[in-house]
Amino acid sequence: MARVRIGHVNDFPDRRGVAVSVGGLRLAVFRVGSSVLAVADACSHRGFPLNDGTIVNCSVRCRTHGSCFDLRTGAVERGPASRAIAAYPAEIDGDDVTVELPD
């Protein structure tokens, strides 16, 4: 896996999603306090973006049909989605935000 810088910490407002394209992937990146969480930016139900979803604790709710996903693991917490989404390790390193991508 390769660790890639995706932006400055100030590019990621607390409790809001940001769409990031990196390494051929489109990610939804969320800062929740001092943590950064990154998942695939497509709901597994119908493919709508998740970066503009509602954050509750460490979950994101798709604004279109209401599916909820755990931002740490990508697991489905509430349907109609039935498949997990990809989750990517991310962290704040000084002022940089990095994400770990598959090789």
Paired tokens of 75: 């697991």
Name the residue with tokens 């979803």: 53
Q: What is the CATH number of the domain that holds 83?
A: 2.102.10.10
How many structural domains comprise the chain?
Answer: 1
Q: How far is CA 70 from the centre of its chain?
A: 9
Examine residue 89 and state whether it is found in any structural domain, yes or no.
yes
- Residue 1 has a pLDDT of 79
The one-letter code for the residue type at 37 is: L
Residue 13 belongs to domain spanning? 2-98
- What averages of pLDDT result for each successive group of 10 residues across the chain (103 residues)? 94 96 96 95 96 94 96 97 97 97 89
What DSSP string runs through 6-55? EEEGGGS-BT-EEEEEETTEEEEEEEETTEEEEEESS-TTT---STTSEE
**pTM of the predicted model, to two decimals?**
0.94
According to the model, what pLDDT value does residue 3 have?
Answer: 95
